[in-house]
A and B are shown apart, each in its own frame.
Chain A
Amino acid sequence: MSDVAINTKREKKAQLGRYGKVGHVLNEMDDRLGVAKGGKTFMDKIFPDHWSFMLGEIALYSFVILMLTGIFLTLYYVPSQAVVLYKGSYLPLHGLHVTEAYASSINLTFAVRGGLLMRQMHHWACDIFVGSIVVHMCRVFFTGAFRKPRELNWSIGLTLLTLAIVNGFLGYSLPDDLVSGTGIRIAYSIILSIPVVGTHVAFWLFGGNFPGTVIISRFYILHVLIIPLVILGLVGGHLGLLVRQKHTQFKGEGRTEKNVVGSPMFPIFMAKTTGFLLLVGGVTALLGAFAQINPIWQFGPYDPEKISYAVQPDWYMGFLDGALRIFPAWSFHSFGYTIPLEVTIPAVVFPGIVFTLGYLWPTLERKYTKDNELHNLLDFPRDRPKRTAAGAGILSMLFMLFIASSTDVIANFMHISLNEVLLIMRVLVIISPFVGYIVTYYICKELQGVDGASQRKTPNIVTRTATGEYVAVAAPKNVNDQHVELEAVPVPNYVTSDEVVEATTSGVRTVER
């Protein structure tokens, strides 16, 4: 039979061998690129199953959504400050002189099908992007994942956070509405406050005194091209280092400094992570559908002499705004020069210190603890009380500053005077890092002494004896609560089965014709 040339599909398939067309393509690729070995290793890469490892994924996927929705927005947005007479579909603005940037933002919101949804998704995805980076960094910080050999990746991550915040601000500014325009004005004044070079930097950036005519188009190219490219490159580096250095993992049975336990890239992690991309996209779309964000048509166009009341910036700018609100009016003026300390310190020096401390932390901790070992096993936060307490202290302070960005709203809402709110916030911002440190430190110490902390409690069964005595006995653990894990094994390449397979040389069934 075999010597008869039968040109059937089955015959052709048999010629391709056990792995069929896919195998053929893989072989061809390996001939040219040598991908088989690396590809196999990559498919076998193990991802730890702990939930806290998905936080970085949220950041990655919200960035994907930012790029997709952002591309949509660029098709309709016009980055120009040229003044036009608005005559689009949103009637309340009819007859107003607005910039093309504002007019096109309104237009893409109302006249383009799906435009409002895309704009709101873009804005929500940005808030989620920055938020998930912060939470992801908290995980990395509190579990000590930044220690040697991963200091470089910590620095890349911190740079990504900075760029995300900056690009968020730039994008927020592009519609040129009243609220964002005021934000640009404040940013301009902050740059002015930098000693010696401030005015020059501000004039370079804005092409002259505020508002000028170029800032929207310059912000635009930074926002849609330059900064996203840098972010994209750094994300590549971040993930590249992650693959090269492999994941950290929590301590546990079978988990050592020399291995990684979890699920392989293909297909388990791939399924979960693709699902997660869809989930993040779904949540963003639902937020875009049901939660209004940044209604620029209600704010109106930017006008240098107009202002809105009780407006807070996007959440990630809150700590800066809060610092600017509560810092005392200390201006330094001498020798014919001015240093506006009331701006320079809260808006330039303070964030500078926080971020520098962030960059230096791995080095400082290495020096201070004299620990120069490689670490692949994570700390439980309670086991490193000083680090955990320090992190909690800094976060408490930043959180209080964030609250301070709403002093006017708090005063209105609670019917207390603005003076009192300001005073209270000043006190809270100063004492919060110390309180945060001390409380966290002692909570950590307490948790260290609790056996089985973080595990679910078992109920006590209380019985009364005949003599009236009460006896409490711990109930046996619920079957579902008992964590039984198998010993981890390498990912198998072949899965054998007892089913009888027809024995033919090619492994393909033959059919009598």
Chain B
Amino acid sequence: MSEHEHRTPVVFSTAHENDPHMQPAANNPDGMERRIALLFVVAFLLIVAFGYCYWVNAKAWTLGATMGGALFLLGVGLVAWGKYLMPKGPFVEERHDFASSDEEREAFAATIVERGGGVVKRRPVLGGLLGAGLGAFSIAALFPLLGSLGPRPKDTLDKTDWKAGDYLVDITGRRYNVNDMAIGSILTVFPEGKNDDPQAQNQDQVVLIRISDSDFTTQKGRENWGPSGYVAYSKLCTHLGCPVGLYEKKLQMLVCPCHQSMFDVRNGAIPNFGPAPRPLPQLPLKLDANGYILARDGFNQPVGPGYWERK
């Protein structure tokens, strides 16, 4: 027994069965036990039902109803068991201070500062070189890590595939003739040959709207951009790049469904409501000899939302 002599004797507490702390909280424990038993029985039956529903491939909601019901009832029963049938207490435990004694604190601080710091102070050159090496490593490691993740933006965001002479085609690749669209109709178009490319579908998407049957000028300096009443704007909202997919014919507005920016179709797509800061860039159009619609030129400014390098 001598080997145990150094141990502090531990006094374990005891309680008598009749101690009020050991009594259940329920006024009628037997009745509570019966109720909990009933919950458990129903839960068991529901689990059996769940198995059956799964076996016969019943509708999805029956699986959830039986499993959820069973778990719920088991949970209620178990919580009630703990709350009403187990010793009601209350019980207490003491808290002990975290703080160590002054000597221990002193010793700890000395270990870190004196012993550890002393080593570094005595060899400042080594410490500095090690720091420089690890620092250089962490910076150098960033280059391949980040560089491999994706290309540098360069001017990707500034450009679209649209250039002078590109025919406007819909997502199936069909060209459009001047007589194909009624006044007030709208269509999403892409540069010919790019209509299948998801990258282009995002960056190049353009709404083509026919707003009248004669040439239409949306702004000064865009006199020949809207032949036969066809005007085209980038479909990327200048706020956050959602497709500006709603055309309010009565108001002649393009509306972005994401954050409700509104662009005035008749007036250069200037935003007159909502958070979008810039008009939708307009694509200059012309007609070929057979009346097919094509781009007179590319966009004269970047499309879509703002970013740091945007000129």
Contact = CB atoms under 8 A, between A and B. Distances in A.
Given A117-B64, A493-B14, A307 B257 contact: yes
Given A263-B89, A288-B68, A114 B260 contact: no
A173 interface: no
- Chain B interface SS verdict (over half): mixed
B98 A195 contact: no
A285 B53 CA distance: 15
Contact of A279 (B13, B71, B239, B306): B71
Given A258-B94, A338-B308, A496-B14, A303 B201 contact: yes
Query: What bracket does the count of chain B residues touching chain A fall in?
Result: 35 or more
A343 interface: yes
Most buried by A among B67, B261, B271: B67
A74 B63 CA distance: 20
Query: What bracket does the count of chain A residues touching chain B fall in?
Result: 35 or more
A198 B275 contact: no
Contact of A289 (B54, B65, B305): B65
Contacts of A388: none
B79 A305 contact: no
Contacts of B245: 305-307, 309
B258 interface: yes
B205 interface: yes
A501 interface: no
A203 interface: yes
A367 B150 CA distance: 45
A283 B22 contact: no
A37 B79 CA distance: 28
A196 B308 CA distance: 6
B75 A331 contact: no
Nearest to B15: A492
B78 to A, nearest CB: 3
Interface in B81-95: 81-83, 86-87, 89-95
A489 interface: yes
Contacts of B82: 263, 267-272, 275
A210 B241 contact: yes
B282 interface: no
Interface in A271-310: 271-272, 274-290, 303-310
A440 interface: no
B235 A305 contact: yes
A192 B60 CA distance: 42
Interface string B196-237: 001101110100000000000000000000000000000100
B273 interface: yes
Given A188-B241, A325-B275, A491-B13, A278 B75 contact: yes
Contact of B91 (A186, A262, A277): A262
Interface in B230-280: 235, 239-243, 245-246, 257-261, 271, 273-278
B75 A304 contact: no
Most buried by A among B20, B61, B273: B61
A189 B304 contact: yes
B171 A488 contact: no
B92 A495 contact: no
Interface string B88-120: 011111110010000000000000000000000
A362 B190 CA distance: 55
Contacts of B235: 305
A486 B21 CA distance: 7
Interface stretch (B151-159, B178-186, B288-296): B151-159
A418 B13 contact: no
A275 to B, nearest CB: 3
A306 B86 contact: no
A164 interface: no
A282 B150 contact: no
21 contacts: A46-B92, A200-B146, A200-B152, A204-B146, A205-B149, A211-B198, A267-B86, A268-B86, A278-B72, A285-B71, A288-B64, A290-B64, A308-B257, A309-B245, A325-B260, A343-B239, A343-B305, A343-B306, A486-B90, A489-B21, A489-B89
